[in-house]
Amino acid sequence: MNEGIQTFPGQAGSGALASQRNRVLRNTYWLLALSMVPTVLGAWIGVQTGIARAMSPGIGLIVFMVGAFGFMFAIEKTKNSAAGVPILLAFTFFMGVMLSRLVGAVLGLSNGASLIMTAFAGTGAIFLGMATLSSVIKRDLSNMGKFLFIGAIMLLVAMIANFFIQSSALMITLSVLAIGIFSAFILYDLKRVQDGYETNYITATLGVYLSVYNVFSNLLALLGIFGGDRD
């Protein structure tokens, strides 16, 4: 009789629960890989058309904030419906377009293409490292969430403040902190899926995608500052 046995998230559960967690994790990885396609497409279209570069920095910031939070709200509302995946992919296309300003600036450097590939490889290495850690670490990391959330909010506020201050030293510092915080977020979000705390693969993909996006963009910005060859 199993009437007295309860299974909680984070504990070893039945074969059915383990299978469900593996399915959510597998779907998260597949959807994350798929989301890179519209991101790259959006960045390419953005570079070719100059749509993001045509906007003033202030307008660009407003469009980014409104668009990103609007899409995230829509994804959360549709995560359990057939519309969830298309809206998520539309969001990743939008994020690619918004990334095109940075990508275009780096491509303007004589070694820009190699810097982008280096940032891509570095982001991939960080993701692989965090994914491996998430499967090796046995302890519950759910308490990390509140600290990472506070860190991300403080980082966002500081970045918005620096938009007006325009401090290069602060921008570099914030980029380094962002890489650290969002690398930890990748570990945290993947561990939540593996421990059964997150059971919706669309929500899981959104979280991991945002972390990967932030790691890549901040790594690329740092490479552009310190490794860029200017003619």
pLDDT tens for each residue of the chain, 231 residues long: 444 434 444 444 456 788 888 999 999 999 999 999 999 999 999 999 989 888 888 899 899 999 999 999 999 999 999 999 999 999 999 999 999 999 999 999 989 899 999 999 999 999 999 999 999 998 888 889 899 999 999 999 999 899 888 898 999 999 999 999 999 999 999 999 998 899 999 999 999 999 999 999 999 999 998 876 665
Structure tokens at 161: 């403040």
- The Cα–Cα gap between 29 and 32 comes to 5
DSSP tag of 56? -
Cβ-proximal residues to 141 (8 Å cutoff; 6+ apart), any chain = 187, 188, 191, 192, 195
CA angle at 129 for the pair 39 and 176, rounded to the nearest 5°: 70
